Structure 1
Amino acid sequence: MTSLQVKDLDSGYGRIQILSGVSLEAKAGAVTCVFGPNGCGKSTLLRAIAGAVDTWSGSVRLGDQDLTGLPSHRVLQHGVTLMPQGGGVFPGLSTKENLLMGVYLLHDRAQRRHAVEQQLENFPRLRERLSTKAGQLSGGEQMMLSIARSLMLNPKFILFDEPSAGLSPKLVSEALQRVSTLAKQGVGVLMVEQNIQQALQVADYIHILANGTNRFSGTPAEIPSQKDFMQLYLGVKDSFNQDKELHHG
């Protein structure tokens, strides 16, 4: 089974280092969540994997394919797509135009039409809103559009940067259930999420970052208590298994 592997990743912006030796593995057909306090490097990690931020050292691999240092369009061609925080819809473009932005790498019109039709079957509500500008869609519809656009090239892995951001509690649950469904269909999901309690309900594996480095890697069941989780989350020095990374085959 294909996996997305990050090993000893260092990255940052300009001279400011954000990530220091981060390692993780995300498996196809599973939801892997990354937790950590604001500013710990979660979004930078996803952007580095996607080729939107430079990798200083370390490696990113998808199965046998080395993605390290590739530009974002090449990473996308290899089957890894990023859904940015807030979905990243283009508010001035129609729903259809937003979907077509997800297949800008395809030059064949028939392939583009097929990709659009495939997602309209997955999200029937979007068919009714094809000519509507994305900025006029409801929060739930924008969430559907963002996920649909991420699926336009049938990716092997989707990197979700806080898919529940800005959504009502009801839509948070719907968004995370849609993420879970994608994994059950065989897509690999690597997700940064601040809504911890609900994300833990769909997570197969978790990684906790603090101060730009790993604090824990394993399954939700391997953290004994909520207190231990919060110690890891906050990077407290006496945190549970602070220096022990759990590996799984």
Structure 2
Amino acid sequence: IGPVTVTTNPDIFQLQLKELYVQGGGDCPEMSVGAIKQALDVSLPSSSIYVFTDARAKDHYLLEDVLKLIQRKESQVVFVMTGDCGNHSHPGYQSYEKIASTSSGQIFHLKKSDVNEVLNFVRVSLQARKVNLLAIDRSLSQVTEVDFDVDSTLREFTVSVSGDTPEITLVDPSGRDVGLSEGLNNLLNLKNVSIVNIKDPFPGPWKLWVRTKGPHTIRSTGLSTLDFIHGFSRQPTAKLKETYHRPLKG
């Protein structure tokens, strides 16, 4: 893996992608956790990192290093997978699940022909002033009901569900199901992924219903002028620089 290309020029970014070529290998796993670590090292805090891969990780022994980096940088890691080497109980795949869960990211399982459609979601999710509203992981097939509050600063919000045949139902504060005619935008609707977006939502208590056929993850982000930053300290302080990003023992 590497060398890392760091650029603000989209033409250079495209050129580097086109110059990639396949060599070596022969086995399915890849050195992807090390690649994520390099991306976290060079990227700004609160970045969105997208991992496009068709294999589980060979270097899952780097997992703890990556989880610490994620907590320090508060970045989100999203996996777009077109293959997984066929064993979800392997530590190489489970390392992806832990990285996604720790970073409020997600794993999307797609056919190669569907990858382009994910870019619609990427465009929405990379907007500035993004705030995390929900992050829920479920290991069983079940109907998940979630209550969440929308305040007057939230200009829009997005709900994404990754799982087998996901269905999303949103109910606004007046108790009305929100469909296409009420402003619901379908960003992605595939066998394993469903993503919806609502612009200018009514403030108040909302309800979210999610139904899938198996384990699933739910994420919701919004665009808001309001944000919240935090730190942990043993002593009272008014300076965030004097705090630590993880809870402190004692």
Q: Same fold (TM over 0.5)?
A: no
> Which has the higher Rg, Structure 1 or Structure 2?
2
Which has the larger share of strand? Answer: 2
Which has the larger share of helix? Answer: 1
TM-score (norm 2): 0.27
- Which structure is higher in RCO with an 8 Å CA cutoff and minimum separation 6? 1
TM-score (norm 1): 0.27
